[in-house]
Amino acid sequence: MQNFDYIRVKSKDELSELLDKQNKEIKLLSGGTDLIPQLREGKKDIEIIVDVKNINEMNELSFDNTLGLYIGAAVSCLNICQDVKVKTMYPGLIDAISLIGGVQIQGRASVGGNLCNSSPAADSIPALIVHKSICIIESKDGIREVPVEQFCTGPGKNVLNKNEFLAGIRVPKVDPEFGAAYLRFIPRNEMDIAVVGVGASVEIKEGHITTARLALGAVDATPRYFDDVFEPLLGMAINDENLDRILDDIGQSISTRINPITDMRGSAEQRKHLSKVLTKRTLLKAIERASNQQEVN
Amino acid sequence: MNMKKFIQTSINNERVEFICEPRDSLLSILRENLRLTGTKEGCNNGNCGACNVIIDGVLVNSCLVLAVEVEGKKIETIEGLAGKDDLHPIQNAFLEEAALQCGICTPGFIIATKNLLDINPNPTEQEIRKSLAGNLCRCTGYDKIVRAVIDVAKISNNKGDE
Amino acid sequence: MQESNLVREKKKFQVIGTRPKRPDGTDKVTGRALYGGDINLPSMIYGEILRSPHAHAKIISIDYQEALAIEGVKAVITAEDFPSLEDVTKKVGEGAVNIRYRSNNILAKEKVLYQGHPIAAVAAKDKNIARLAIEKIIVKYEILSPVLDVREAMKEDAPILLEELRTVSMGEKIDKPTNIAKHIQLKRGNIEDSFAESDIIIEREFYTSMVHQGYIEPQSVTALYNNDGDISVWTSTQGAFIAQQQISDVLNIPLSKINVIPMEIGGGFGGKVSVYLDPVAILLSKKSGSLPVKITMSRKDVLMATGPTSGSYIKVKLGAKNNGIFTAVHAYLAYEAGAYPGSPVGGGAVSLFAPYKLDHLLIDAYDVVVNKPKSEPYRAPGTTNAIFASESIIDEIAVKLKIDPIELRLINAVKEGDRRIDGPTYGRIGLIEILEEIKAHPHYHSKLRGKYQGRGIATGFWFNYAGKSSVYASINGDGTVNLIEGSTDIGGSRASMAMQLAETMELPYESIIPKVVDTNSIGYTEGTYGSRTTYSTGWATHNLGNELIRLMKEKAAAHFETEIGNIVYSKGNFTSSDKEISFIDLAKLMKGNPVTASSSIHPKRASPGFGTHIVDVEVDPETYKVTILRYTAFQDVGTAIHPSYVEGQIQGGVVQGIGWALNEEYIYDDTGNLVNHTLLDYRMPTSYDLPMIDTVLIEVPDPDHPFGVKGVGEVPIVPPAAAIANAINDAIGHRLNRLPMSPKNIFESINQVK
Ligand SMILES: Cc1cc2nc3c(=O)[nH]c(=O)nc-3n(C[C@H](O)[C@H](O)[C@H](O)COP(=O)(O)OP(=O)(O)OC[C@H]3O[C@@H](n4cnc5c(N)ncnc54)[C@H](O)[C@@H]3O)c2cc1C
Ligand code: FES
Ligand code: FES
């Protein structure tokens, strides 16, 4: 591994200041579960590693009745998954976040890191997208907000400018009508990167589907958001006998609109096939969650 | 360019100081500088669990931690597990059940098991299997490891009942 | 402790068959045990290896002046520093290797033959400097086209890996350049007539990928070339003497100059017999002015450049009568040897139908070089590939003839006195006992519950090997016994040796203190491979125990002032008419007077191993992911010395077999780069992928061995692939002919059919 300097910052201001002034190659370190292996594989241009996980504001995990959930960029997956509020209100997020690595990875990995690493296969991203989540990006120049589906721009690439960092993610408050889920396919049961991952959310009012969202990972250069394939679902009763067929059709149409690659984790054809299968399964799970949610209330 | 850092930390309840470069992993400092070779290296990229240690109550792969990050932390390694007179019950259970063959994965499994039982003293077989999925063992097929963990959980729960 | 699942006629032992804690256990659960990479010597420096980024290329030049000039760099070596060697074939472990090829595999000369092929090595005062120096070495290559598939490599116009290689076909050398190193043929009877008389004939092709042993401890070697020319090597190896021999061969240094000190070993499974780093570390130490040099492989190095086992292409045609009796087999096997000759295809050819009676056969087997790492043994080398083919076809025949799969195997199974397909006559083997036991077992009669669930069975075979072992012992003044051995303990063999000695000497297990020592301290002992250690080293230990008792009888006779013939030893006591003295008391009396003995042994043969497995699976009909629901392995274990470790061998082997069956494979890109070189993407099973692995130990003792031991370690990896393939067919009605049966491969197989 090439040598680099290590700086620990204690506040967002300190971080903004540092990013603004430095003309050296900087990388932020959160849990390091992506960054450290990458450095070891020979990313040579990095001169300074700035550790952001000791910034209190970036470890904030809070819920507000109007704004919804705020996940500081450095909060570990473990802390999110242990949070009772997140567990009960956002099971679709937990689906995804709890899948990131095994126990040893969970304690270090952050959702902020998962987003900023911007892998097309990152598990949290499709789930965040279908929750309509927003990236809060900060710099010396101020704060800007970017919907998660617009954050990644290519494998390992995102909208962050050199002087910017991800401060946190805001996940809007969900209504009782809302249900979301994330499913991924991996050959083993743990310790694999998604061959395909699908996030879905729906809202159900009086037994009828009123909105639906779908996002897929590992099927293109960035996670893909589909907001238009749901016309056939809208207004449909959740016990409609045609639901099954329509979900198949949606899966089919999705599988023709993605551009998966063939690599060691799966072939393009297999990924298309799995996209179809998982689209249906994930939507069904989201529908089930939304309807159970209403029974509870 | 000298980038060496001076780090103070606690390992197995002993105050420890060392000097490292920012690029040094905690694993390499433990094994090479501090000669705590009980923590093993199987992959050096977070895939095998042989290097497991507990930092401030959180189970981590020490190969994915920079040594500079542990300033002021509390680290538990395999060397700190046994008591003065006795092995830790998890260590005994691994011996009783023959849960090791070559033994290279054993320190990692024992540390991961300690972390599991600290959080969930009464896990089901599936919970054990899931929470040990980040630890690879190539010798045992996991059967006897899982049995050993079930045994310790039972033993400590019985003790709790008395 | 697990319920005993032992099928044994009557208990006749005191110590054997119990489950004591292993002597090295405390060190291994406390992290105190020292493995290959755990040694730290004073003034130690670190070695790093420059590896080829190309799968096939000529080395035009190597320039390491800049590397050598870096402060802290102590030495750089290339193949030029190795002696030139003749083409001599030597036995290494259970195989044979050409030592020039071995040398070239350790450091490439003239050509690189696979990605990761070592080219040069650096020693420096720390790892970072060594790595930096490696980057400064300039190598010029002429890149050649790689050959990555065994059948491509066999084509007339394939690029040639080794210019001088000539096919040896049934003993004859064919004089033209080729990638086919060897052609073996097994022939008996008359297959044409027998096929003509068959009621059913099935012919299928099978494909398997290279897979790795996957030991968790990467290779690590520390070597000191002392100023007087004496060499010490600290390493984790399956056989210290085998390592010593290879070092001596490659470096052309007398054996007596080399002491190999075995460290604890973190798994091997066949992959830690051949040496990679040892000669390099020794020469670096020499060139550094006798500083100890440590070299440890990264996981990528391990996967990319240490021997996996062969991928293969196998075609089998099997005939049978309506009553199930097999009539004839015609088979073709081609195995990837990797960069240099020496795949286990010969074993594959024999094991293919070793469990069955067959008088008419024609089997052709080819050993073929390809631009992948030199293959090395992996648990029952060559056999899993072959049995995947044969047991899949047998299952198909059972289904087509509507004969119960166990019955079909019983009809054809070999028993004592039958001939193995290549000629030798079987001794006391337990295949029939295994199959009968299954018929009575609840797993075989349990009901499957789901629509996409299925059950499969398969039988495995492994030759088992005996080999040479030496042991030494001394009796301590407190009645304990030091047992010194040369067999690497990979999975608890110290315990099984101590138990066999305790049984022989009628002493408690705790009074035996076993120790594995360096090559300077014990007689020649072959490595821990071939399932031989508990068998042969155990046998030597038994003889040693008898000798110690004889010596102690002499002492007792002297003590009682009588003839040795009057002394009776039983249950730890020496008696002569009315006088009695315990072993311990006699040892105490002897304190200060040495009682020592040694024993060496070379049994001519060992009983082969048989095992039959039943597996229940569930297949996701949409994603094609296969879940193992239940698994039971039945095996003839001879005598289970320490049943827990016998079960452990079976469970571990089964899970390696499951990994091979379902997800493990080497994935190369077109240029010959191994793309899945991490344990995230080389997918070995985790605990969360598996159920408990049930075992049934059937004891059919080996009549030659003093305790009836049979090798148990290897056969368990053999049946899983075939058993799972058969179970998948039972679940979804689709036969797979390619390993691994990963979701991707099942998807592709099914969609071709559709
Ligand atoms: C064994 C193993 C298993 C894994 N399994 C999965 C899995 O199942 N699913 C999955 O999605 N991923 C998986 N990963 C990848 C990884 O764990 C996740 O992507 C994780 O969420 C990354 O978080 P981190 O905090 O460790 O990121 P880091 O490694 O700290 O950072 C990742 C990247 O983001 C940048 N960064 C971090 N924080 C910020 C910030 N606030 N602002 C700007 N840039 C920032 C860093 O500079 C770096 O480039 C696995 C990794 C390993 C080693
Ligand atoms: S060495 Fe750290 S996880 Fe393998
Ligand atoms: S006991 Fe060898 S890897 Fe687990």
Domains belonging to chain B, first-starting first, are: 5-78 (3.10.20.30), 89-161 (1.10.150.120)
C28 to chain B: nearest residue by CA? B103
- CA C361 vs. chain centroid, Å, equals 28
Closest residue in chain C to residue B28, using alpha carbons only: C127
In this prediction, residue C96 carries a pLDDT of 76
CA distances (Å), origin B68, targets A3, A19, B26: 13, 21, 8
pLDDT tens profile C641-669:
999 999 999 999 999 999 999 999 999 99
pLDDT tier for residue C153 given thresholds of 50, 70 and 90 = very high
In this model, does residue A43 exceed pLDDT 80? Answer: no
Inter-chain residue contact B65 with A108, CB threshold 8 Å: yes
DSSP three-state, residue C681:
coil
The response to whether residue A34 sits with its C-beta less than 6 Å from ligand 1 reads yes
What average pLDDT does range A104-123 have in this prediction? 98
Within an 8 Å CB–CB cutoff, is residue A42 touching chain B? no
Whether C92 has a pLDDT exceeding 90, the answer reads no
Residue C1 is predicted with a pLDDT of: 39
Scan for tokens 């870096």, then name that residue.
Answer: C70
CB C164 within 8 A of CB C341: no
Nearest by CB to C681, which of A264, A270, A273?
A264
Closest approach atom of ligand 2 to CA B46 = 3
Share of chain C above pLDDT 90, in %: 92
pLDDT at C753 over 90: no
Q: Hey, is the C-beta of B22 within 8 angstroms of any chain A C-beta?
A: yes
Q: What is the mean pLDDT of residues C628-636?
A: 98
Asked if C92 contacts C43 with a C-beta cutoff of 8 angstroms, the reply is: no
What's the CA gap between A134 and A162, in Å, rounded?
20
Residue A246 has a CB neighbour count (10 Å cut-off) of: 16
Residue nearest to atom 27 of ligand 1 (CA): A113
Q: Give the Å distance between the CA of B134 and the centre of ligand 2.
A: 9
Test C744 with A191 for CB contact under 8 angstroms. Answer: no
Chain mean position to CA C195 = 36
**B107 in ligand 2 pocket by Cβ < 6 Å?**
no
- Beta-carbon neighbour count of residue C198 at 10 Å? 20
Q: Is it true that the peptide bond before C740 is cis, omega within 30 degrees of 0?
A: yes
Q: Which tokens sit at C401?
A: 């003839």
The ligand with the least distance to the CA atom of A36 is 1
Q: Which one-letter amino acid corresponds to residue C701?
A: P
Grade residue C492 by pLDDT with cuts at 50, 70 and 90: confident
What local confidence, expressed as pLDDT, does residue B157 receive? 77
- C93-134 pLDDT per residue, tens: 767 789 999 999 999 999 999 999 999 999 999 999 999 999
Minimal Cα–Cα distance from A148 to chain B, Å? 27
Neighbours of chain B (3+ CB pairs under 8 A): A, C
Spell out the domains of chain C, with CATH numbers in brackets: 1-7+425-464+607-754 (3.30.365.10), 466-601 (3.30.365.10)
Whether B120 is in the pocket of ligand 2, judged by its Cβ within 6 Å, is no
Mean pLDDT over the full length of chain A: 95
pLDDT at C299: 98
| H helices present in B18-142, as ranges | 26-28, 89-96, 106-119, 125-131
Q: Which of B104, B109, B111 to mutate to test the pocket of ligand 3 (most atoms within 8 A of CB)?
A: B104
Residues of chain C with pLDDT > 70: what percent? 98
pLDDT of residue C3: 46
Provide the shortest C-alpha distance from residue C136 to chain A (in Å). 14
Residues of chain B contacting residue C628, judged by C-beta atoms under 8 Å apart = none
Span of A291-295, C169-173, C343-347, C736-740 with lowest mean pLDDT: A291-295
- Could you give the angle at which helices C431-439 and C405-412 cross, rounded to 10 degrees? 160
Going by pLDDT thresholds of 50, 70 and 90, the confidence category of residue C7 is: low
C680 lines ligand 1 (CB under 6 A): yes
Take atom 3 of ligand 2 and give the residue whose Cα is closest.
B46
Q: What is the pLDDT of residue C4?
A: 52
A101: which chain B residues are within 8 Å (Cβ-Cβ)? 46, 134
In this prediction the ipTM stands at 0.97
- For all residues of chain C together, what is the average pLDDT? 95
What local confidence, expressed as pLDDT, does residue A42 receive? 79
The token pair that represents A173 in the structure block: 């408050």
| Interface mutation vs chain B, best among A30, A36, A103, most B CBs within 10 Å | A103
Residue A215 has φ and ψ, to the nearest 5°, of -140, 140
Query: Cα separation of C48 and A163, whole Å?
Result: 38
Spatial neighbors of A4 by CB under 8 A, at least 6 apart, are A39, A46, A47, A48, A49, B3, B22, B23
| pLDDT, position C6 | 63
Quick one: pLDDT at residue C2? 44
Is the confidence at residue A293, as pLDDT, over 90?
no
Q: Please, which pLDDT band fits residue A296 given cuts at 50, 70 and 90?
A: low
Span A211-259, pLDDT tens digits: 999 999 999 999 999 988 788 899 999 999 999 999 999 999 999 999 9
pLDDT at C699: 96
Residue C410 confidence (pLDDT) above 70: yes
Interface of B with C in 26-85 (CB under 8 A): 31-32, 35-48, 50, 77-79, 81-82
Q: Tens place of pLDDT for every residue, chain B, 162 residues? A: 568 999 999 999 999 999 999 999 999 999 999 999 999 999 999 999 999 999 999 999 999 999 999 999 999 999 999 988 899 999 999 999 999 999 999 999 999 999 999 999 999 999 999 999 999 999 999 999 999 999 999 887 776 544
How much of chain A exceeds pLDDT 90, in percent?
92
User: Ligand 3: residues whose CB is within 6 Å?
Assistant: B 100-105, 137-140; C 216, 267
B100 CA closest ligand 3 atom index:
1
- Evaluate if pTM is beyond 0.95: yes
CA atoms of C636 and C427, how far apart (whole Å)? 13
For residues B95 and A118, what is the distance between their CA atoms, to the nearest angstrom? 44
Angstrom distances, CA of residue C584 to CA of B67, C573, C590, C727: 53, 9, 10, 57
